[in-house]
Chain A
């Protein structure tokens, strides 16, 4: 009896989430022969890492197609290997790529597939519990074996090394048709986010309707730049088309949890506050002392952001001597 785990690689070794999937798979069928499929170059390091996580044999698919991410080609290689090994379960990590590859395997084999599993009690058919709704709903499902197709949700089990020997390595060249080579990554483009991303920023400076115009954001951007923070905005601003939706903080935008949140000219509608309730400290700058954000803010300045914000920036510059 054997299981097969499709692993994703990192520059130096194997992705942590794939090692977790290996641990999940080993717990499923104790005593099973554990096979791994990797694509790209073979090497001793690979044999050591996977061996240390209980893999007895690594199958390395070699092909020019694997120079970049090519999901259909990986899926075809996996199907070829499944044909040879007849594993009872095929697993991968519940990552974007792991889910995509196994979905394609499922389509090629015309088999059901359970993505993002968090638990399995084994058995035949295989009983699994899997995440739906980004984790807010758990679904119990049953999958036929030989093979059951499963991805493992990130961080539901820990990777568990064993005192294993380095895995045996077998390389093979999968037979790939032209169509299977068509789907591949041709270029990586960096998104034009300058500095830190909104969701991770330690400081966020946001502007609301009070900025008055797209140009009104110049002072917001300046302050955010000085503080090494990100620029955010309210829904009113995106509705008016002044900033892209990716900048929106709120219930239907990005939810942020910075150390300091500076809200300028934002009234503090419930929709907005739902997005910044994770902020440790809130500083509100608003002309209206009755604005609801004043009640939720730790510090409040009653004043026009077009005067207050540049003054803060100037004070910062002065203090830093720049």
Chain B
């Protein structure tokens, strides 16, 4: 029986391993210390699960329980094979089964696992959270039943060992098994019961073993591996496509079929256990769009398993879109990464979405038509609105900022302005304020003016990797020629691209966001704001907070300027403004994300909505106008500039 179940398990496991090994290459063997750390924190420490306290503890009890109880499975197998195994005290198992403390641990964790199972059932049957919509609910019930059966039979076996006087450990150490044993008959009946329970336990464990790799519960085998190979640094970075790959087999244009998935993406698909935390956090799902990150991964997994056997035998695979997911799903994503942040098994949903887009855009030329002008203008005019590049530095007139010409002296600080801040009237306020503050603090500030081109972020997030790489190479040449070392930027999208993505193409700079630099200047006393009486709620930009961990600096500034108020979703768990993933240049179906975020901001009772991203500025200002609320949207830099000027004005009044 052990052989049969072992064979069934091994056959399926081998299939899964072959599927993963057939995946396309992706570099995930760097930063080993970081990988070990995330394994410790995310898997052993259950950090991401514990982002939600009750379901998190429920899972942790079951997970830690199974780690502790694992040796009992081996013990049960030896006892089942031989009623009197006579394990020597010198063998590890023999030593362990004699330990009172281990018997106590087993008792405690059996109870904790049962508490976990009951909690899970209450969540699923009574509370019924929305996040389970679309998940396989009956499969989950079966798995919970099996878990309960595993630990119940274990407890009964331990009790029957005590009743039959066969227990190798001092019975007093295991109070629950001991109490239970008094309810069992003694004598020969106890011997029989011990046989029944040990075999029941072994049977349940073995059927679990066979069922496991065929169910969504596969995650207990795969998740730990997936977490190990997840991104450790620069979460906002996308994997570059190598158009110059020498081996044609390595050349890929995103993901068209399951055979285009990387091995990490195959692992991702296998790791999903349909918990729906991603779906709960997704701004697209929250506003009635077709996209659910959970259903996306489930769709990919189902197609991977359905077509995997044929693909491994050299057969053809069918397109992922629209079979696994529809076109709408692919284009609804704002690449905010809320799903990735939540996912307890470190699935990287955004990479899947972008790879699907890459294939649709570069191979099929199939994408929302309204985004075409943006792509064309980024390519031809170097900015997404097709504005004349000659006007790029117009905002800086009279601000004493150097427009760097070829051959100019390298600046102390290169200010990368970004397209929105350069051209859009509303986004300019924050840029002008930043430049003024930096000059006030005594910096020699240089901008590239007409030589600054779009970083390529919107093209890349749309899936046009080719256009992105062209722009990246062009900008890196310009930056290197200008002698840029420290770059400050106002746009979190530019920030992410410059800091995390340009290094892949040879551009290495020290990149800071303007809120970080300004916070430092305030701390050093080089800028002195005066506190005001505005109630300010700060909206975290996804590309700043979630993708790049810049959370504290803007808050420090806000607390110096006015009275801070936090939204329910803030910091790394922020809610997108709706512009990310090139959505600034797409039409939105269903209800708008920006209006939802404005509603959340208004709930705090704030009168000012502070932002640190030009696109958040535009989206949220539109949302405020659209919903007719009385809320001022302004960049943190604008608020700081006003506050510093206010102090100046007061000082002047006092002086005169």
Contacts and interface: CB of A to CB of B under 8 A. Distances in A.
Interface stretch (B309-317, B562-570, B585-593, B638-646): B585-593
A106 to B, nearest CB: 15
Contacts of B586: 252
Given A133-B365, A136-B376, A239-B626, A277 B386 contact: yes
Given A274-B385, A277-B386, A209 B365 contact: no
A132 B425 contact: no
A13 to B, nearest CB: 32
Interface string A234-265: 00101110000100000111010000000000
A182 interface: no
B386 A252 contact: no
B376 A240 contact: no
A134 B380 CA distance: 13
A274 B423 CA distance: 11
Contacts of A68: none
B424 interface: yes
Nearest to A295: B425
A136 B386 contact: no
Contacts of A253: 370
Chain B, interface SS category? helix
Nearest to B378: A136
Contacts of A269: 424, 426, 618, 622
Interface string A118-139: 0000000000000011101100
B370 A252 contact: yes
Contacts of A277: 386
Nearest to B594: A239
A136 B367 CA distance: 15
Nearest to B420: A270
A239 B588 contact: yes
Given A134-B376, A136-B380, A252 B371 contact: yes
Contacts of B466: 137
B587 A252 contact: yes
Interface string B87-100: 00000000000000
B375 interface: yes
A132 B385 contact: no
Contacts of B384: 251
A136 B380 CA distance: 8
A213 interface: no
Interface in B360-377: 365, 370-377
Interface string A140-169: 000000000000000000000000000000
A292 interface: yes
B625 interface: yes
Contacts of B588: 239
A36 to B, nearest CB: 29
Contact of B375 (A133, A271, A292, A295): A133
B386 A236 contact: no
B379 interface: yes
B392 to A, nearest CB: 13
Interface size class of B (residues with CB under 8 A): 20 to 34
A113 to B, nearest CB: 14
Given A132-B365, A136-B379, A255 B373 contact: yes
Interface size class of A (residues with CB under 8 A): 20 to 34
Interface string B369-402: 0111111110110001111000000000000000
A274 B386 contact: yes
Contacts of B426: 269, 292
Contacts of B387: 270, 274
A251 B585 contact: yes
B425 A292 contact: yes
Contacts of B424: 269-270
A182 B140 CA distance: 47
Contact of B626 (A240, A268, A273): A240
Interface string B595-620: 00000000000000000000000100
Given A270-B385, A270-B423, A270-B424, A133 B372 contact: yes
Interface string B620-655: 001001100000000000000000000000000000
Contacts of B365: 132-133
Nearest to B361: A133
Nearest to B380: A136
Contacts of B425: 268, 270, 292, 295
Contact of A252 (B377, B585, B618, B626): B585
Contacts of A268: 425
Contact of A236 (B379, B385, B625): B625
A37 B401 CA distance: 66
A252 B376 CA distance: 12
A136 to B, nearest CB: 5
Contacts of B585: 251-252
A292 B423 CA distance: 12
Contacts of B626: 209, 236, 239-240
A271 B387 CA distance: 11
B341 to A, nearest CB: 28
Contacts of B622: 236, 269
B458 to A, nearest CB: 12
Contacts of B625: 209, 236
A278 B222 CA distance: 56
A253 B370 CA distance: 6
Contacts of B385: 251, 270-271, 273-274
A136 B370 contact: no
A134 B423 contact: no
Nearest to A255: B373
Contacts of B618: 269-270
B605 to A, nearest CB: 25
B373 A251 contact: yes
A255 B386 CA distance: 12
Nearest to B584: A271
A238 B592 CA distance: 12
B592 A239 contact: yes
A213 to B, nearest CB: 13
Nearest to A293: B425
Contact of A134 (B372, B377, B592): B372
Closest 4 A/B residue pairs (Cβ): A252-B370, A292-B425, A270-B424, A274-B385
Interface of A: 132-134, 136-137, 209, 236, 238-240, 245, 251-253, 255, 268-271, 273-274, 277, 292, 295
Given A134-B376, A136-B376, 14 more contacts: A133-B365, A133-B372, A136-B372, A136-B375, A209-B625, A251-B384, A252-B371, A252-B373, A252-B585, A252-B587, A255-B373, A268-B425, A270-B385, A274-B385
12 contacts: A137-B379, A209-B626, A239-B592, A240-B626, A251-B370, A252-B586, A269-B424, A269-B618, A269-B622, A270-B423, A274-B387, A292-B426
